[in-house]
């Protein structure tokens, strides 16, 4: 197993003696966009000196700008089934919580997708509890086919990421065949004893099986995998080390690490007492850990959800976050009606369009791009483009084109004006003249001639 608890604890302990000089050397390396080894990351975990912390934050912002530019990818979750055989102590869907459980029929999936399409979304994360009887892989495959086939007016979902429980190589192959984007699975915690305590029963209790899920996903042909930790279950320093070791393991075995890392932080939900979770990172610690992950794995996308407040999301956008959800509902069927039970309490409750406007007011380019996996830029192919510094030359053009599509189909006047400004300010940033001309031409095709889904 690539997670060795005593090794992690020793590294964290030893790293306490790192001098300012050593920290600055590590940060010099990070500033050259070289990424960091897990040992170097350990040294940064203890930094509290404001000057050094500011340097970490500044580098995190620089890395984000250098690699991804100012585009922020938008997505929304779609909860399809809340049946669950596990009893994860922190989760609203846990088996012991009594409420009227349900899974969407295909007609209901279609209804939810139409609503999401009318919000302008092109990229979804499909979410489900674990229940092999009520929610088998065949059900998830049907859901995915229904989503991809639901095209309402100009709307369509072009990329479905999937966040379902750890499964077999065979099932991952089936997910790959149906055309998923990233397979996302949060480790919850890398600390085995805590893991077993908070997942007391059910298949999720098995730490080894859960922790090796991405190996099976890779063996099943899925080369974009998205990791994450549910921050608050155990010491965040340990968890960051776990993420780093997991990433290094994937790089070593499959030539590519995490495509994305999500940083969910524990929220209040039904049947759970927040006072039982002493490890929830404070806002300052949370900011620190996001920035450290950013500079450690510069080519990995970072995702923040509506679990966090507007203020926290704003802070983190400037230090490395490259994808955010918007207008989210975390109830099964919740986009169409008020339903049963959310998985947890959402903090940022603004609509998708409000978030898009807000992003532009901060000079970001909200992007509905889904080009990479449809162009075969996945796994190590994506990473090599990212590492050559070229990804932003693709991301910005695609971001601008999809933003224009969004404005034309779903924008009000205020939004359209903001988009005009963003396009005007960002077009000159496309350095390749040929690409810039193509984007200009495509934007006219989209806004004046009704063309859709143009991408590089």
- Read off the DSSP letter of residue 110: H
From 90, 183, 299, 358, residue interacting with ligand SAM (rule: CB under 6 A): 90
324 forms bridges with which residues in the sheet? Answer: 74, 304
Residue 334 binds to ligand SAM (criterion: CB under 6 A): no
Interface with ligand SAM includes 161 (CB under 6 A)?
A: no
Is residue 87 near ligand SAM by the rule CB under 6 A? Answer: no
Are 63 and 298 within 8 A, CB to CB?
Answer: yes
Among 23, 41, 56, 91, binds ligand SAM (CB under 6 A): 91
**Minimum separation from the CB atom of position 307 to ligand SAM (A):** 5
The token duo for 4 is 């060795």
Among 266, 319, 365, 383, binds ligand SAM (CB under 6 A): 266
Pairing mode, strands 323-325 and 123-128: unpaired
Nearer to ligand SAM among residue 128 and residue 360 (C-beta):
128
Residue range at the interface with ligand SAM (CB under 6 A); choices 55-63, 100-108, 182-190, 418-426:
182-190
Query: Which tokens go with 14?
Result: 């030893």
CB of 77 to ligand SAM, least distance (A): 8
> Based on CB atoms, which residue is closest to ligand SAM, 163 or 341?
163
**Which CB sits closer to ligand SAM, 43 or 328?**
328
Q: Give φ, ψ of 96 to 5 degrees.
A: -70, -20
Q: What would the DSSP string read from start to end of 310-356?
A: HHHHHHHHTTT--EEE-S---STTTTTS--S--SS--S----HHHHH
Minimum distance of ligand SAM from residue 257's CB (angstroms): 19
- Show Cβ contacts of residue 126 under 8 Å, excluding neighbours closer than 6 positions: 77, 78, 80, 140, 143, 144, 147, 160, 161, 162, 163, 164
State the binding string over 289-328 for ligand SAM (x if CB under 6 A, else -).
Answer: ------------------x---------------------
- 281 lies in the site for ligand SAM, by CB under 6 A: no
Using the rule CB under 6 A, is 81 a contact of ligand SAM? no
**Cα diameter, the chain:** 63
- Under 8 Å CB-to-CB from 439, ≥6 apart: which residues? 397, 400, 401, 427, 430
| Partners of 188 in the β-ladder | 229
Q: How far is the CB of 57 from ligand SAM (least distance, A)?
A: 25
Q: In this structure, are residues 279 and 234 in contact, taking their beta carbons and an 8 Å threshold?
A: yes
Q: Among residues 62 and 210, whose Cβ is nearest to ligand SAM? A: 210
- Binding segment for ligand SAM (CB under 6 A), chosen from 33-41, 127-135, 311-319, 362-370, is 127-135
Site residues (vs ligand SAM, CB under 6 A): 90-91, 127, 129-130, 163-165, 185-186, 188, 204, 230, 264, 266-267, 269, 307, 343-344
């Amino acid at each position: 197993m690539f997670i060795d608890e005593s090794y992690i604890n020793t590294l964290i302990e030893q790293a306490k003696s790192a001098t300012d000089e050593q920290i600055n050397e590590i940060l010099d390396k990070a500033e050259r966009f070289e990424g960091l080894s897990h040992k170097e990351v350990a040294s940064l975990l203890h930094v509290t000196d404001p000057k050094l912390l500011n340097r970490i934050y500044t580098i995190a912002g620089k890395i984000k700008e250098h690699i991804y530019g100012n585009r922020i990818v938008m997505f929304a979750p779609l909860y399809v089934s809340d049946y669950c055989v596990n009893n994860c102590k922190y989760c609203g869907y846990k088996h012991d919580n009594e409420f009227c459980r349900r899974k969407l029929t295909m007609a209901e999936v279609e209804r939810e997708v139409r609503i999401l399409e009318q919000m302008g979304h092109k990229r979804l994360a499909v979410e489900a509890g674990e229940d092999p009887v009520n929610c088998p892989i065949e059900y998830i495959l049907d859901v995915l086919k229904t989503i991809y086939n639901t095209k309402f007016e100009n709307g369509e979902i072009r990329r479905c990421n999937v966040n379902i429980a750890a499964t077999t190589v065979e099932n991952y192959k089936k997910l790959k065949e149906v055309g998923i984007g990233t397979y996302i699975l949060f480790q919850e915690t890398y600390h085995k004893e805590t893991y077993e305590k908070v997942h007391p029963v059910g298949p999720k209790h098995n730490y080894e099986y859960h922790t090796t899920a991405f190996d099976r996903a890779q063996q099943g042909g899925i080369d974009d995998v998205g990791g994450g930790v549910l921050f608050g279950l155990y010491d965040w320093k340990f968890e960051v080390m776990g993420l780093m070791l997991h990433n290094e393991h994937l790089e070593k075995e499959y030539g590519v690490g995490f495509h994305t890392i999500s940083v969910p932080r524990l929220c209040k939900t039904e049947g759970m007492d927040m006072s039982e979770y002493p490890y929830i990172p404070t806002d300052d610690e949370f900011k620190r850990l996001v920035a450290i992950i950013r500079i450690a794995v510069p080519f990995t996308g970072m995702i923040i959800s509506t679990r966090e407040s507007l203020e926290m999301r704003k802070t983190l956008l400037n230090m490395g976050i490259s994808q955010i959800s918007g207008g989210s509902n975390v109830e099964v069927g919740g986009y169409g009606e008020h339903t049963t039970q959310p998985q947890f309490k959402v903090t940022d409750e603004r609509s998708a369009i409000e978030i898009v406007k807000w992003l532009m007011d901060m000079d970001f380019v909200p992007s509905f791009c889904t080009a990479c996996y449809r162009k075969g830029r996945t796994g190590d192919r994506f990473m090599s483009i990212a590492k050559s510094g070229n990804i932003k030359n693709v991301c910005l053009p695609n971001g601008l084109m999809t933003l224009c599509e969004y404005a034309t189909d779903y924008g009000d006047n205020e939004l359209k004006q903001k988009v005009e400004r963003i396009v005007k300010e960002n077009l000159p940033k496309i350095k390749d003249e040929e690409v810039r001309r193509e984007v200009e031409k495509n934007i006219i095709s989209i806004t004046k001639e009704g063309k859709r889904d143009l991408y590089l």
